[in-house]
Amino acid sequence: FLVPMQFLGPILDEALAREVVRPRATVVPIASNQVSVGTFDYADGTNAARGGLSLTWTGEAAALSEQRGKTREVTLKPHKGSIFVRVSSELAADAIAFDAQLSEAMIAAVAAGLDAAFINGNGAGQPLGIVNAPATISVAKEASQVAATLVPQNLAKMAARLNPSSWSSSVWLIHPTALVQLLQLQAKVQNVAATENVGGYSPGWFTVAADGSMTLLTRPVVVTDACAPLGTVGDVILADLRRYLVGLRADAAIARDESRYFDSDEITFRLILRIDGQPRVAEATKLRDGSNTVSPFVTLETRS
């Protein structure tokens, strides 16, 4: 049985407004079972190279040095995501605006599930999320740092490991439990011997505007429970989500069936979508000095 037309809205379009990653990511249509995206490889920035290309200085009438760019191919293969729900025919018939309620619940579940995958996915039968990606840099905690805390040094070091070209398009993703740490962010003042904390002050890095929007070190802060709880790697992420690829095969398809559980007078609804995601970059980028590295994705290691 087909679901009524008013129920068959563009689920992914509706979910988009509630998602964190996909609206800021680079979305690539997948027309078949996979799509390959060619891109320049910026992993090695030694001697100011970018994508294997370097600016060279040439004398008048001298021959130019030929270069070959360094490229890589990213393959996106759609993974199947699903929601399968079973309800009584009485609920479907008697609940106020049941179709609308079910649609709302499915949209919310799709939005939350996609963000969770794009941030935490392991790449096995699902998208490869930011936290588990080889290109992501995990900043070490401070020595003797108290468990489940955020200190200014953590955030400053995370900012320092973000690829400079990503700064203007980066956002902070934080778990709700980490918000209290930002609201009370304090820089400690120690005595001359650096053996005792004798005071503290707010560095002024975290701001809340009149409309409720938040920034940290001038970059937007987005609160989402797709991040890990406070104290666990992934509770705070600094990311340039333009560098995350989302491969979309088609909009979500919903079907309704009244025959499977005919004997118990129940109805089933099934939602299927096919989607993939992974960072565009395969590894952290070496800076011009050839040793220090940066990335479009930065996390903070577990503090426990």
Chain segment 192-217, per-residue pLDDT in tens: 877 777 788 889 999 999 999 999 99
pLDDT band for position 285 (cuts 50, 70, 90): very high
**pLDDT tens digit sequence for 25-35:** 999 999 888 89
Parallel/antiparallel/unpaired status of strands 219-223 and 171-174 = parallel
- The answer, yes or no, to whether residue 99 has pLDDT greater than 80, is no
Percentages (nearest 5) of helix, strand, coil residues in the chain: 25, 35, 45
Q: In what order do the strands lie in the sheet with 26-29?
A: 26-29, 244-257, 266-279, 79-88
Pick from 101, 149, 107, 88: which is nearest to 11 by CA?
Answer: 107
**pLDDT tens digit sequence for 229-277:** 999 999 999 999 999 999 998 777 788 888 888 888 898 888 899 999 9
**pLDDT tens digit sequence for 46-98:** 999 999 999 999 999 999 989 989 988 999 999 999 999 998 888 878 777 78
**DSSP for 261-282?**
TGGGTEEEEEEEEEEEEEES-S
pTM of the predicted model as reported, rounded to 2 decimal places: 0.88
Query: Which pLDDT value is given to residue 199?
Result: 80
Query: Which pLDDT value is given to residue 225?
Result: 97
Helices and strands counted in the chain (H then E): 5, 17
Pick from 119, 104, 107, 133: which is nearest to 20 by CA?
Answer: 119
C-alpha to C-alpha distance for 81 and 159, rounded to whole angstroms: 34
| φ, ψ of residue 248 in degrees (nearest 5) | -115, 115
